[in-house]
Each structure stands twice: as structure tokens, then as C-alpha cells.
Amino acid sequence: MIHPTSQNLGPYRPEALAHSSGHTAPTKRIESAGVESLSTAHADSLQRALESSPEIRPEMVELGQALAIDPNYPPRHIIDQLAKMFTNASDPSELA
């Protein structure tokens, strides 16, 4: 189990989720003998929502096809930024 180093969980705090979605987050924290656990009581509803989502979104397929034939996509400045990021990145093998 990964123990939190801070009690501030940022945007994932239940009260923060309540503000963004209009209702309180359905999580329950159980503490005993210094060990925390999280209730997954609502995992089934999340799974049902995922299963009810369409697997293929026609509007996204159409957008992808349009971008694939666009000679100006991605824009040149994005390619240049990515190239700089790749060339300036440190080699993980050199850190060891």
C-alpha cells in the first residue's frame, strides 16, 4: 500500500470533487491502526458507465481521418517544440 505523504490530495479531495460535479464524492476512508483503505463501493456504477459509452465515436474517427491527410498537421511549431524536448532530455542510462 502506498501511504500518502500529505493529507491534501489536491483536486481529488472529496470536497473538491463535490464542487466540480455538483454532488459529494462517494468515497469512504477507513482508518484503523494507522492503515488507510479506500472503499470501492461505487466501482460497479463506474464500470456500467464505461460499458454504456460507445466504443467507436464517429466524430472522432472523422476528425482523425481529416488530420491524417492534412499536410499542415501537426503545426510546424509543435514539431519544433517536440524536437527540442527530445534533444534536451537527459538519457536515463547516464543517470545510473
Domain range annotation of the chain: 9-38, 58-88
Which residues have C-beta within 8 Å of that of residue 18, sequence separation ≥ 6?
24, 25
Contact 39, 30 (CB under 8 A): yes
**What cell does 40 get?**
470501492
Segment 29-70, tens digit of pLDDT: 555 566 777 778 788 888 988 899 888 999 999 999 999 999
What 8-state DSSP symbol labels residue 91? Answer: P
Segment 8-33, tens digit of pLDDT: 555 555 555 444 445 444 555 555 56
Percentage of the chain lying above the pLDDT 90 cut: 34
Within the chain, residue ranges assigned H as helices are: 14-21, 43-52, 58-69, 76-88, 92-95
**What cell does 22 get?**
455538483
